[in-house]
Amino acid sequence: MNLTRIKGFADVLPGDVETWQRIERAAERVFANYNFKEIRIPVLEKSELFSRSLGESTDVIEKEMYTFADRDSKATLLSLRPEGTAGVVRAYGEGKLHQVEPVRKLYYLGPMFRRERPQKGRLRQFNQIGAEVFGRTDPYVDAELLLLLRDLWEDLGVADTVLEVNSIGCADCRPGYRAGLVAFLEERRAELCADCDRRLKTNPLRVLDCKRPSCSAMVNAAPSILSHLCDNCRSHFDTVLGLLRDLRPEPVVNPRLVRGLDYYCRTTFEWKAGSGLGSQNTVAAGGRYDGLVQSLGGPPVAGVGFALGVERLALLRSEGDTKESDAPLLYLAWMGEEAQRWTFALAHRLRRRGRRVDMEGEARSLKSQMRRADKQGADVVLIVGPDEMEKARALVRRMATKEQTEVDFSDVEESLG
RNA sequence: GUGAGUGUAGCUCAAUUGGUUAGAGCACUGGACUGUGGCUCCAGGGGUUGAGGGUUCAAGUCCCUUCACUCACCCCA
């Protein structure tokens, strides 16, 4: 093949699709339990929506977006969405959803696009299932989202996960903490790795989760965000933790957990896989973004949400997967053109009654047809050849028992439908 | 974007120091059984050795480029 798929874009072939359907159905079920409604939004938006939402200096905006000028207007740059929150926030404000009902619990699923180096669990077109709740500032929603995710793991049989939570404060307390952290790091600047030296200017909080041992050791001595939270953030976070006490596994408080996108405040979390994903092991992540809706021109309502990577979830449960079984298959085996015409018409009638039916299109030996019926898992094979056409009676073979009976043509539809 | 590794049939893998027509298992198709699945046996189809170029009498094997994948960074779901 000369024409192949482009780098970082994947086909999901039959056999793998079932895993996806299983995940999507489980998600739909769980979201319904928590009274979330689905929202569908475009994959293409004005670039400015993302840069204003995620932050100009984030990697996603600076070097990972698929951005281009529309054909008829060089002024408006468009981008394939790199994540879902910005678009949902936009739709929430644009649709004036807050006017009808101030609290909205929404979810979405679909492809996102980031031009990164592909590797396991990371593609340039990848799929996310995400949730956003607008209009609630209470800590109970934060906890509700995490419980919802736990329900989803349970439904899908995903074990061996770790939930890390943190609070990164709000507009009142974070600036003070940030200044203190920067001062602390400036003093030890010589010891920082090259990446962290850069982070010190662009996003100092990110120094906290540098994986290098030298930086990590230094950060241990750095001031912790959790001891600098204002009273409101402190009690919000404590309530969230209290509500999660019965979660298994119990959440790990990680004061160094910092999210990459600018809009987060207060509660942040990451749900990681213990094994099976390599270094890209975050399956779901999210947090609170109270100022975002308003900063994008919407009403002054709070927001919380998460996104989970469908590909990563699929990798976690690709082995020993219990696929949802298809309806039983009825296979029509025929010999001779007359029988073919008769079974073709019968297939049509049975399918309209909701039966899963298949048959060959070209003449094959009965043996071959039986073999294919078996391979496809048919529970019943109907055999019709010249003899049966003559007698107007079809042979019905039950595959599991090899039991074979004759049925009058006039009764076939009723007995198989 | 940086560094390293791996590319042989649909899948898992062979192929001597560079040496004949690149093999095997599984899978697929057909037959043994003129009209009966799973087991067995037999046969068949399927390869630009990822692609392009170079060295050589001769390249799956050596060199260069490129593409894809994997791992570690960066970053994120």
How many Å does it take to go from CA A7 to C1' B47? 24
Closest C1' nucleotide to A2's CA: B51
**Separation between Cα atoms, residue A79 and residue A68, nearest integer Å:** 7
Angle CA A15–A84–A123, to nearest 5: 45
Q: Mark residues 265-304 of chain A whose C-beta is closer than 7 A to nucleic acid strand B.
A: 270, 278-286
A262 touches strand B (CB under 7 A): no
Each residue's pLDDT tens digit, A116-173: 988 888 999 999 999 999 999 999 999 999 999 999 999 998 888 899 999 999 989 9
Each residue's pLDDT tens digit, A293-332: 999 999 999 999 999 999 999 888 754 445 556 788 999 9
Pairing between strand A252-253 and A265-273?
Answer: unpaired
A261 touches strand B (CB under 7 A): yes
Each residue's pLDDT tens digit, A190-210: 888 877 888 887 788 888 888
pLDDT at A275: 74
Instruction: Measure the CA dihedral A16/A18/A22/A27, to 10°.
Output: 70
DSSP annotation of A296: T
**Closest C-alpha to A332, from A343, A321, A324:** A343
Segments of chain A with pLDDT less than 70? 1-2, 318-325
Closest C1' nucleotide to A85's CA: B77
pLDDT at A282: 93
pLDDT, averaged across chain A: 90
Closest C1' nucleotide to A335's CA: B35
At residue A126, what are phi and psi to the nearest 5 degrees?
-130, 165
Chain length of chain A: 417
CB A126 within 8 A of CB A83: no
How many Å does it take to go from CA A393 to C1' B29? 31
pLDDT at A215: 80
Burial (CB < 10 A; 0-12, 13-18, 19+), residue A295, is middle
Pure H helices in A278-359: 292-295, 310-316, 337-352
Determine the number of helices (DSSP H) and then strands (DSSP E) in chain A.
16, 16
How many Å does it take to go from CA A238 to C1' B24? 64
Bases on strand B under 7 Å from any protein CB: 1-2, 28-38, 67-77
How many Å does it take to go from CA A144 to C1' B42? 64
Closest C1' nucleotide to A7's CA: B68
Burial (CB < 10 A; 0-12, 13-18, 19+), residue A362, is exposed
pLDDT at A320: 46
pLDDT at A325: 65
How many Å does it take to go from CA A277 to C1' B13? 26
A380 touches strand B (CB under 7 A): no
**Closest C-alpha to A355, from A328, A376, A379, A332:** A328
What value of ipTM does the predicted structure carry? 0.84
pLDDT at A17: 86
**Separation between Cα atoms, residue A330 and residue A398, nearest integer Å:** 10
